[in-house]
Amino acid sequence: MLDPVLFRAHLADTADKLRARRGFALDVAAVEGLESERKAIQIRTQELQNLRNTRSKAIGQAKAKGEDVTGLMAEVAGFGEELKASETRLAAIRAELEGLLAGVPNLPDVSVPDGQDETQNREIHRWGEPRGFDFSVKDHVELGELKKELDGETAAKLSGARFTVLRGGIARLHRALAQFMLDLHTGEHAYVETNVPLIVNPESMQGTGQLPKFEDDLFSLQLGEAKRYLIPTSEVPLTNLVRDEIVDASALPLRFTAHSMCFRAEAGSHGRDTRGMIRQHQFEKVELVSLCRPNESDAEHERMTRCAEVVLEKLGLPYRRMLLCAGDMGFSAQKTFDLEVWLPSQNTYREISSCSNCGDFQARRMQARWRNPESGKPELLHSLNGSGVAVGRALIAVMENYQNADGSISVPEVLRPYMGGLTSV
């Protein structure tokens, strides 16, 4: 959530900056109307509170002198009714304002390019040369079906569209990728391995910005009278580990990684990537989350993105880093780097990791703070999250880039210890 001061003191400027976000227009009139009413009622509420306190004190003094306090008590009773009504209305206005502002995305960082969609993202650099093939390239679906180890048809029978059953060598390769990523991020990149719940409460979803705006993209369930949600990414539970906490400065930065199932309804992607494992309702990801001092978040963002790049380099997968334009960023991000891996069957790069600096946007929603030793006061943390990387998409990239003419798939050298020494599947 953005700082409310931006809407009170810099509303026009904030609205102008938010226009860079695709499809978003701040309802300035609604904010102005609510803010005007809030100020008026807040002033009147404070006046009534002061009057009540003054008259209550006068009643006490009059009683001490044995004087008649009937008139004063009647006056206080009248103040009390108006005060109660004012406090009730003030709470309702604040809730309405909070609900309105909860649907406002983060402001783009000054380094983020203008633009409305992915065509206006900026390439930062590339790594690796796409492999040349002397045979007809197959996509991951054809390779999996040839080996009868990637099965969308059976998954559809079990669950419906956008699910996949993996078997045999491909299932083992999928598992190896996740283990390799976890070992890399914990052993070389100093992230703390964390096992988190796959089901979270609404407060956790609100804390990272999935609620209230994106409820249609979530899978929910009812546990008794309580509503819960399947996580769309382990960013949600990992970031919420510090919700309503004040972290000691000496503990920062906090760096967490988790391998988890992820669940997304893909409500807005009808007709997109319906073939294979590119866009699934259920998938696996190794997530990276950092929580740090505000003045360190830019460097932490670069570090996190580099950690994800190392995964692809060790796997020998060509990729490029893209700086997303304002219109293509996620709701909570103020700056995002996407890593796009080369897919031979599509003759293009496709997203495999997204690393975002959210500034204090999520921390304000969560009241996640650190104690600044210089001031001794609690201040908002900065939060960052990134894919390190999406396991299913890494599997697709390995299958396609390491395919052989006979349909077999060579195992990247770095994965062979996790595959019992196998060199191909």
**Which positions make up the binding site?**
233-235, 264-266, 287, 351-354, 385, 387
Among 86, 149, 393, 400, the one annotated catalytic: 393
Rounded CA separation 234/264 (Å): 12
Residues that constitute the known binding site for ATP: 264-266, 351-354
| Residue 55 falls in the annotated catalytic set | no
Task: Decide if 313 is catalytic.
Answer: no
CB-CB contact of 247 with 291 (8 Å): yes
Extract the annotated binding site for L-serine: 233-235, 264, 287, 385, 387
- 351 a catalytic residue: yes
Measured distance CA(76)–CA(62) in Å, rounded:
14
Given 354, 356, 369, 400, which residue is catalytic? 354
Q: Calculate the alpha carbon distances from 414 to 44, 114, 129, 176, 411 in Å.
A: 69, 39, 19, 10, 8
Q: Catalytic one among 35, 37, 351, 379?
A: 351
Q: Of 38, 279, 293, 371, which residue is the catalytic one? A: 279
Distance separating alpha carbons of residues 65 and 360, to the nearest angstrom: 56
Active site residue 126: no
Considering only CA atoms, which of 162, 154, 164 is closest in space to residue 265? Answer: 162
Query: Is 264 one of the annotated active-site residues of the chain?
Result: yes
Residues present in the chain in total: 425
Q: Which of 82, 1, 5, 86 is nearest to 40 (CA)?
A: 86
DSSP 233: S
Residues 6+ apart with CB under 8 A from 56: 76
User: Active-site residue among 264, 321, 365, 369?
Assistant: 264
Per DSSP bridges, beta strands 165-166 and 150-151 are antiparallel
Regarding beta strands 254-263 and 192-193, do their DSSP bridges make them parallel or antiparallel, or are they unpaired? parallel
The residues annotated with a catalytic role in the active site are 264, 279, 351, 354, 393
